[in-house]
């Protein structure tokens, strides 16, 4: 019998590391058990963090006191702000990571965290007594006791790797699968399903002719993800761009008979937003070329990640089609691309706290819930860790609302809709997107992070100071006026029509004016951080839209506040169809609003329920 | 949870056509039918959805009518319950006796819209259809029920679904450009995105304004019974209502105030108004009554001008005639049971003259038919394609959607960021969603994935 812990986290992937760190930082004793200590926070696929909607998740993780943002800031090798030509709400940060540095730094942070033990071991069974988890058992026969368990096993459960028609068990290239655990979960009564994902081959940098290719540099002044990072001073490396062509597509089509996907060997459902190159060629035959980014795997690594050619074709076909592309004529593959099938546990079986409905004290987070992506995994890990710790402290779980963060959207979607295919975050999944900006993630979530005891005091003070300067900034924009007599200023701004003068706020609403144009009228504003200035500008420029979005939230909350009593007997509602009744009983929604988001629960059913609830 | 009684009601308008349909719904529907239905071939059970020919007998073994009967087994029926429909010959008396038969067997008279209400509670209808239920319930008649039914058939749904599909596809296009980089989805042509929505908004505006026509159908038309004293106005009212509601005496000037009663007449929801007989009088109370009658004559949708066919027209009759707008008046020549001596020449300007006897209750069926024709013409021509918005919530939903789309156009004009434009589109879509049910983000993503080659 091993030591006794408050929380055991199974799997040191992106979800597991966040979970374990959160638990320990909230003052509970945590054990992080993982298959291989050399693969802590390993990036299985693309060595990049952030991107559209994912960048938002990283900011939210940071706002709550998670680690991912600091980790990428410390190990990123190319930072870019995406969607800058689009609106303020969908602007998103992305960074290329040095894969080895990323992993190594996260391991150091975990090791250095007081109250957190990191151990190697494969969990094969959960200890469950009277409907409550009490610990885990490893393959070596060790038992660890705990009050709660967070399961974050990623793609490892019954992982099956496919390269062409060859397949073999594996959790990730070069790593063994986790056998037995999903069977055990099935025995406990969980619905376990099968999903699939894939990754491209890794190429030898020295065999690529970069001189023939267009380079894509990072931003001139890289912006950090974390409020704790002051400056990013690591050298930035460029990516390169190449394209598939007719010849590439021909080679791919010629290899389809040996594709596990098209020959029916793979049963798991793959992500539509992450199609393999063979998928793209088959489904969009009219597209003449596909863009491929060649991304360095690190500052010192000789491997290149070709973003856009994920594949499970046989290795010889992989090499053939790669060599049809410009710059890749002589390329060598260092690691082949592959597809992987794995077991996941349908998240419809979770409470919004990520605790399972079946086993008290057991939390699921990350790809085991059918999501895909490091950020989605880390976000869930963080929330599961927070809620496990809160449970141990006898406090209420934290559930982030859909109007509060992408984390809320993510978890609400998972527990209500389940995952029939790998779930990735998109900004369009968020109804209240204008309120969920990267720039205001701290205002949305830092109070929560502080309240649960995760966000450190020092950080809270800095956040409070930022709030204060925002408040003063707003005030100054309101009261500082340009008088009609101030001819010089009027001329400088090019505003001959300004008869009655105007406040800075009114001026800022004009599409042609930026805050920077007005700062000479109140030099105090110029002294603000670029972040605060950007936020002030956004708030004023889009005030009308933002106000309307807030009104939508108000309306949404009204349904959300109609509570369905726990243990409500849907069986007694004869007028609900058997199908709808089953769905409602499955999810056991806590509010009428939540009930309405369950697919297949018809508006008529909601109308019936609301009549009955109001009776 | 639900009431488990069996309800019955005619589903065809009374007094119209050669065939009437009486519908039963509920657990006892089959039992009640079996009790009274005889056919040549003996059978224990009825097959669902098959038409059977036979005779209907009452409890005293008196044959009522030859009928066709069809049973629809739960849940494959309109209400989702066991349903029986009996097709008998038309005619107010006969339908009434068929109803009595089932009522005495234990069925309960259905309240207006109750069949539809049951269908809704049994989950047989979608949201728009369910909305129409409210209409049916308010309609209190099967004609306005027809408008509601058209909605049920999905006319409104179809239209709104079409609007909503168009918005969905525009939103998908916009979202694709928000959530994916340009190199994957190409650049966005806003003009071609906006144009079809412009055309659509025009259509929506027209649809929303059809609401007022819908209101008349929903709230009922007013029918005024007008004439000099003692021609039998109150008697006619009672005869049409099927009960003695108004006081009838042979004293001229019996009715002194207007009396209003809701009623389903020829399939239309109607407010039937009996008024004081029109004449010069010094009695202050009666005087006020006459004044009210005259004012009603102006506002009523339809006037039944009652004259006494057994006497020549008098000056008082002419006073009443003078208050009638010719194109909304039907002349009812009452007391047809008496020898007739009325001079029709003096009523030549009126195209409809129907002889009735309010006392003997004859001629009412043809009066109903004439009324139905008149109302039918009006409402149909007003409703254009025969399709109107009758539910206030539908109108509001349309107006809200229109407002959002106008905001969207404005956003496009000032080059607002895509996510702001998307917000307006989504808001419009959500407003329509009050009718069609919500559009989930997943549906938008589905469209994106099927239209664009996206992803690494
Ligand atoms: C081939 C492939 C391609 C991918 N492609 C993409 C992509 O293109 N884009 C994208 O966003 N995401 C992609 N992903 C997904 C991304 O890697 C994951 O979503 C993310 O890593 C999930 O994080 P996680 O913490 O849930 O699990 P993981 O990162 O998989 O970590 C799971 C951890 O659990 C440990 N573990 C498993 N079982 C046990 C056990 N029984 N006992 C103890 N420890 C255990 C493992 O050792 C591992 O450390 C891909 C993944 C793979 C494998
Ligand atoms: N024979 C015969 N008598 C009728 C008929 N209709 C009405 N009467 C009689 O006519 C008299 C007047 O009937 P009412 O219905 O009170 O007439 P009214 O037009 O409402 O009269 P006021 O209210 O006084 O204006 C009563 O005695 C009725 O019985 C009919 O069709 N035939
Ligand atoms: Mg009278």
pLDDT-derived band of residue B451, with 50, 70 and 90 as boundaries? Answer: low
Cβ pair A21, A62 in contact under 8 A = no
Q: Quick one: which of B383, B388, B399, B387 has its CA closest to B432?
A: B399
Backbone angles phi, psi at A138, to 5 degrees: -100, 170
For A3, A100, A487, A504, A516, the CA distances from A497, given in Å and listed in that order, are: 76, 59, 12, 15, 21
pLDDT the model gives residue B66: 86
pLDDT in tens, B59-90: 888 888 888 899 999 888 888 889 999 988 87
The ranges assigned to domains in chain B are: 7-110, 129-210+388-449, 220-380
Highest mean pLDDT among A187-191, B115-119, B258-262: A187-191
Chain B CB contacts of A273 under 8 Å are: 445, 449, 454-455
Q: pTM for the full model?
A: 0.74
User: Which residues, listed in sequence order, are joined to residue B262 by a DSSP beta bridge?
Assistant: B271
Give which of B297, B270, B180 is closest to B216, Cα–Cα.
B270
CATH class name, domain B129-210+388-449: mainly alpha
Mean pLDDT, rounded, for A227-248: 93
Instruction: Quote the mean pLDDT of chain A.
Output: 92
pLDDT band at A614 (very low <50, low <70, confident <90, very high): low
pLDDT digits (tens, 9 = 90+) for A272-315: 777 899 989 998 888 899 999 999 999 999 999 999 999 999 99
Q: Which tens digits make up the pLDDT trace of A97-125?
A: 999 999 999 999 999 999 999 999 999 99
CATH number of B7-110, picked from 3.10.450.50, 3.40.50.1820, 3.40.50.2000, 3.30.1360.120? 3.30.1360.120
Indicate the pLDDT class of residue A127, thresholds 50, 70 and 90: very high
Task: Decide yes or no: CATH 1.20.1260.60 for domain A4-198+342-451.
Answer: no
Its ipTM equals 0.84
Q: Within a 10 A sphere around the Cβ of A446, how many other Cβ atoms?
A: 25
Q: Does the pLDDT at position B102 exceed 70?
A: yes
Query: Class of the A472-550 domain?
Result: mainly alpha
Whether the upstream peptide bond of residue B203 has omega within 30° of 0, thus cis, is: no
pLDDT tens digit sequence for A191-206: 999 999 999 999 999 9
Question: Does residue B379 have a pLDDT over 50?
Answer: no
Candidate from A63-67, A90-94, A181-185, B177-181 with smallest mean pLDDT: B177-181
Report the alpha-carbon distance of residue B387 to residue B399 in Å, rounded.
17
Per-residue CA distances from A315 to A170, A322, A366, B101 (Å)? 17, 11, 30, 82
Residue A163 pLDDT level (bands cut at 50, 70, 90): very high
Domain range list for chain A? 4-198+342-451, 202-338, 472-550, 561-614
Peptide bond just before B377 cis, omega within 30 deg:
no
Nearest CA in chain A to B439: A597
Mean pLDDT over B424-441 rounds to: 79
Whole-angstrom Cα distance, residue A103 to residue A99?
A: 6
Ligand 1 cavity residues, CB under 6 Å: A 10-16, 33-36, 39, 44-46, 122-123, 152-156, 171-172, 178, 181, 197-199, 274, 340, 366-367, 372-374, 377; B 456
Q: Which CATH class is domain A561-614?
A: mainly alpha
Note the pLDDT tens digit of each residue in A569-603. Answer: 888 776 677 788 888 888 888 888 888 888 878 76
DSSP run (H or E) holding B101: helix B92-105
Task: Kindly determine whether residue A427 and residue B427, on different chains, have CB atoms separated by under 8 Å.
Answer: no
Band the pLDDT of B377: cuts 50, 70, 90.
low
Among candidate residues B280, B277, B332, B278, the one with its CA nearest the CA of residue B302: B332
Interface test with B, best of A575, A580, A607 (most B CBs within 10 A): A575
Region of B3 on the Ramachandran plot (φ > 0 left; ψ -120 to 50 alpha; else beta)? beta
Q: Please give the interface size between A and B, counted as residue pairs whose CB atoms are below 8 Å apart.
A: 124
CATH number of B220-380: 3.40.50.300
Backbone angles phi, psi at A94, to 5 degrees: -145, 145
Q: Give contacts of A548 with chain B, Cβ < 8 Å.
A: 423, 427
Compare CB distances from A577 to B123, B442, B453 and report the shortest one's residue: B123
Q: Are A562 and A591 in contact (CB under 8 A)?
A: yes
Atom 21 of ligand 1: nearest residue by CA position: A374
What mean pLDDT comes out for the span A22-49? 96
CATH code for the part of the protein at A202-338: 2.40.30.260
Nearest CA in chain B to A543: B420
Q: pLDDT above 70 covers what percent of chain B?
A: 74
Q: A55-64, A507-516, B135-144, B409-418: lowest mean pLDDT where?
A: B135-144
For residue A157, is pLDDT > 80? yes
* Phi, psi (rounded to 5 degrees) for B167: -65, -40
Q: How many CA atoms lie less than 13 Å away from A179 in the CB half-sphere?
A: 7
> What are A482's strand-pairing partners?
A502
Q: pLDDT over 90 for what percent of chain B?
A: 23
């Amino acid at each position: 019998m091993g030591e006794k812990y408050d929380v055991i986290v199974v799997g040191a992937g992106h979800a597991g590391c966040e979970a374990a760190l959160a638990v320990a930082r909230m003052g509970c004793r945590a054990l992080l058990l993982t298959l291989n200590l050399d693969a802590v926070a390993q990036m299985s696929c693309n060595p990049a963090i952030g991107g559209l909607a994912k960048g938002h998740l990283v900011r939210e993780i940071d706002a709550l006191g998670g680690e991912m943002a600091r980790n990428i800031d410390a190990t990123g090798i190319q930072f870019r702000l995406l969607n800058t030509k689009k609106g303020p709400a969908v602007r998103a940060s992305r960074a290329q990571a040095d894969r080895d540095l990323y992993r190594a730094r996260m391991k150091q942070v975990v090791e250095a965290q007081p109250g957190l033990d990191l151990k190697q071991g494969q969990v094969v069974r959960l200890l469950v007594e009277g409907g409550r988890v009490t610990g885990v058992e490893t393959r070596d026969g060790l038992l660890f006791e705990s009050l709660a368990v967070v399961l974050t096993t990623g793609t490892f459960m019954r992982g099956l790797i496919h390269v062409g028609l060859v397949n073999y068990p594996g959790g990730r290239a070069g790593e063994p699968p986790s056998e037995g655990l999903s069977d055990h979960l099935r025995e406990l009564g969980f619905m376990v399903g099968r999903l699939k994902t894939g990754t491209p081959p890794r190429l030898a940098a020295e065999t690529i002719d970069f001189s023939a290719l267009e380079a894509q540099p990072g931003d001139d002044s890289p912006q950090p993800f974390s409020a704790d990072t002051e400056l990013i001073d690591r050298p930035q490396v460029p990516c390169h761009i190449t394209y598939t062509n007719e010849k590439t597509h021909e080679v791919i089509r010629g290899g389809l008979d040996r594709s596990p996907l098209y020959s029916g060997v793979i049963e798991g459902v793959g992500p539509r937003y992450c199609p393999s190159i063979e998928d793209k060629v088959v489904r969009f035959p009219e597209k003449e070329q596909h863009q491929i980014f060649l991304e360095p795997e690190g500052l010192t690594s000789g491997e290149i990640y070709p973003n856009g050619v994920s594949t499970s074709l046989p290795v010889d076909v992989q090499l053939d089609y790669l060599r049809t592309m410009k710059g890749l004529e002589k390329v060598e593959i260092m690691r082949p691309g592959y597809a992987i099938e794995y077991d996941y546990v349908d998240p419809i079986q979770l409470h919004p706290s990520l605790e399972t409905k079946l086993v008290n004290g057991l939390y699921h987070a990350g790809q085991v819930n059918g999501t895909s992506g490091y950020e989605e995994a880390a976000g869930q890990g963080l929330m599961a860790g927070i809620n496990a710790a809160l449970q141990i402290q006898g406090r209420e779980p934290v559930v982030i609302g859909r109007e509060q963060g992408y984390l809320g959207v993510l978890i609400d979607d998972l527990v209500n809709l389940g995952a029939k295919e790998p779930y990735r975050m998109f900004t369009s999944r968020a109804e209240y997107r204008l309120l969920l900006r990267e720039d205001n993630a701290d205002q949305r979530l830092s109070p929560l992070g502080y309240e649960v005891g995760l966000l450190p005091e020092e950080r809270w003070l800095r956040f409070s100071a930022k709030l204060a300067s925002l408040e003063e900034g707003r005030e100054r924009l309101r009261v500082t006026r340009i008088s009609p007599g101030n001819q010089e200023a009027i001329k400088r701004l090019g505003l001959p029509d300004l008869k009655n003068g105007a406040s800075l706020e009114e001026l800022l609403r004009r599409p042609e004016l930026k805050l920077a144009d007005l700062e000479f009228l109140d030099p105090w504003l110029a002294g603000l951080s670029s972040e605060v200035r950007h936020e002030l500008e956004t708030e004023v420029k889009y005030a009308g839209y933002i106000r309307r979005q807030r009104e939508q939230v108000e309306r949404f909350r009204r349904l959300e506040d109609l509570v369905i009593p726990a243990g409500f007997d849907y069986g007694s509602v004869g007028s609900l169809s058997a199908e709808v009744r089953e769905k409602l009983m499955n999810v056991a929604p806590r509010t009428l609003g939540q009930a309405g988001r369950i697919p297949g629960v018809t508006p008529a059913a909601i109308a019936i329920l609301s009549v009955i609830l109001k009776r | 949870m639900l009431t488990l009684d069996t309800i019955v009601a005619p589903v065809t308008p009374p007094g119209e056509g050669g065939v009437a349909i009486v519908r039963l719904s509920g657990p006892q529907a089959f039992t009640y039918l079996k009790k009274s239905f005889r056919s040549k071939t003996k059978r224990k059970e009825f097959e669902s959805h098959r038409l059977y020919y036979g005779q209907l007998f009452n409890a005293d073994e008196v044959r009522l009518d030859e009928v066709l009967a069809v049973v629809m087994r739960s849940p494959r029926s309109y209400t989702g319950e066991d349903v029986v429909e009996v097709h008998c010959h038309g005619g107010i008396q006969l339908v009434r006796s068929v109803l009595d038969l089932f009522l005495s067997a234990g069925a309960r008279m259905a309240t207006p819209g109750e069949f539809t209400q049951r269908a809704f509670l049994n989950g047989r209808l979608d949201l728009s259809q369910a909305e129409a239920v409210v209409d049916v319930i308010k309609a209190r008649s099967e004609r306005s029920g027809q408008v509601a039914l058209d909605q049920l058939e999905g006319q409104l749904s179809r239209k709104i679904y079409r609007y909503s599909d168009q918005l969905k596809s525009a939103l998908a296009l916009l979202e694709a450009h928000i959530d994916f980089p340009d190199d994957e989805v190409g650049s966005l042509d806003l003009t071609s995105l906006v144009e079809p929505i412009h055309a659509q908004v025009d259509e929506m505006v027209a649809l929303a304004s059809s609401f007022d026509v819908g209101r008349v159908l929903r709230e009922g038309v007013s029918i005024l019974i007008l004439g000099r004293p003692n021609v039998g106005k109150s008697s006619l009212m009672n005869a049409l209502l099927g009960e003695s509601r108004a006081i009838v005496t042979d004293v001229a000037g019996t009715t002194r105030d207007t009396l209003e009663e809701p009623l389903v007449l020829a399939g239309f929801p109607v407010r039937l108004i009996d008024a004081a007989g029109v004449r010069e009088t010094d009695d202050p109370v009666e005087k006020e009554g006459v004044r009210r009658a005259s004012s009603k004559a102006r506002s009523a949708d339809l006037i039944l001008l009652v004259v006494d066919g057994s006497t020549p027209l008098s000056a008082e009759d002419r006073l009443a005639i003078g208050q009638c707008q010719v194109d909304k008046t039907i002349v009812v020549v009452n007391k047809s049971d008496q020898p007739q001596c009325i001079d029709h020449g003096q009523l030549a300007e009126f195209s409809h003259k129907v002889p009735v006897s309010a006392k003997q209750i004859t001629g009412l069926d043809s009066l109903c038919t004439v009324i139905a024709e008149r109302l039918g013409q009006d409402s149909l021509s007003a409703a254009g394609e025969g399709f109107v918005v009758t539910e206030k919530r539908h109108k509001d939903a349309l107006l809200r959607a229109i407002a959002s789309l106008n905001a969207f156009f404005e956003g496009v004009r000032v080059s607002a960021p895509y996510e702001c434009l998307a917000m307006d589109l989504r808001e419009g879509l959500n407003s329509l969603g009050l009718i069609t049910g919500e559009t989930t983000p997943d549906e938008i993503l589905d469209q994106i994935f099927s239209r664009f080659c996206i992803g690494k």
